[in-house]
Amino acid sequence: MAKKLTLLDLLPVTAPGILTDAMKQDMQKYLSTDTQVIHTQIPNGPITIECEYDEAFSAPEVVKLAVSTAAERPIDGIFVNCFGDPGVRPTREKITLPVFGGFEPAIYLALGLGDKVGIVTVMKNVVPMIDAAISRAGLKRRVTSVRTLNMPVLELQDHEKLMTNLYQECKKAIEEDHVSVLVMGCTGIVGINAEMVNRLRKDGYDIPVLEAAQCTMTLLELYAKMGLYQSRETYMEPPKKG
């Protein structure tokens, strides 16, 4: 009998009530029914992450909470719930488990679906973070467009405004940037893919739209099932000091 998995959803922000029941259901949509997801949130740090300044204050709290949670209870994988991946790389050095933020899984899955990938994110302040992640992954020739909604994270629960702005930017990414796959560049953009795919099809564009949180949880579960975690040749254990 296959082992039942427990995945940790770690919110790297302090905004109260930012993770709704609808968001939980959406990110767990494609998981096995016997996979358990537990949710936790850093006690100190930025309210939201919308720039590298925010990310820098979030990362130490992410590492501390991930390490302490993994020491307290058995878990099989960690999702740092942000497209900016705060604290992901140092957490990988400390923990022998698969650890992902929102960026890599969504991009990995998108690359198998089309030649040119476009990202739509929240605000222009986030773009340098995403550009740096694209460059670090060596994907500048494949991930060719980053567009913004001009909406802060805390406004994303305004579904009507979100869909209006998102539709406009998705169309521009297709028509002006010639992308063939769209990735949502914020894990707070949820519950939109089916509606957006249908709206774009009515305009004659049959392309995939990927939500980062769904992609991450699904890939994280797969890695955990396969017993995979990040290479110790890349993510070496921190040297002992003192």
Tens digit of pLDDT for each residue in 47-89?
999 999 999 999 999 999 999 999 999 999 999 999 999 999 9
The amino acid at residue 192 is I
CB distance 163 to 192 below 8 Å = yes
pLDDT digits (tens, 9 = 90+) for 130-154: 999 999 999 999 999 999 999 999 9
pLDDT at 3: 80
Please say whether the beta carbons of 9 and 214 come within 8 A: no
pTM of the entire predicted model: 0.96
Contacts of residue 2, defined as CB under 8 A and 6 or more positions apart, other chains included, come to 225
Q: Which of 35, 9, 21, 58 is nearest to 190 (CA)?
A: 21
The answer to whether 69 touches 141, Cβ cutoff 8 Å, is: no
Which class for 136: exposed (0-12), middle (13-18), buried (19 or more C-beta within 10 A)? exposed
Query: Which structure tokens are listed for 195?
Result: 């509606």
**Residue 33: what are its φ and ψ, rounded to 5°?**
-65, -25
Beta strands in 12-68 (DSSP E): 36-41
d(CA 131, CA 172): 19
| Secondary structure (DSSP) of 156-182 | TT-HHHHHHHHHHHHHHHHHTT--SEE
pLDDT at site 242:
76
Q: Mean pLDDT, the chain, as a whole number?
A: 96
Q: How far apart are CA 242 and CA 235, in angstroms?
A: 21
Check: CB of residue 179 under 8 Å from CB of residue 117: yes
Per the listing, tokens 């550009």 go with 131
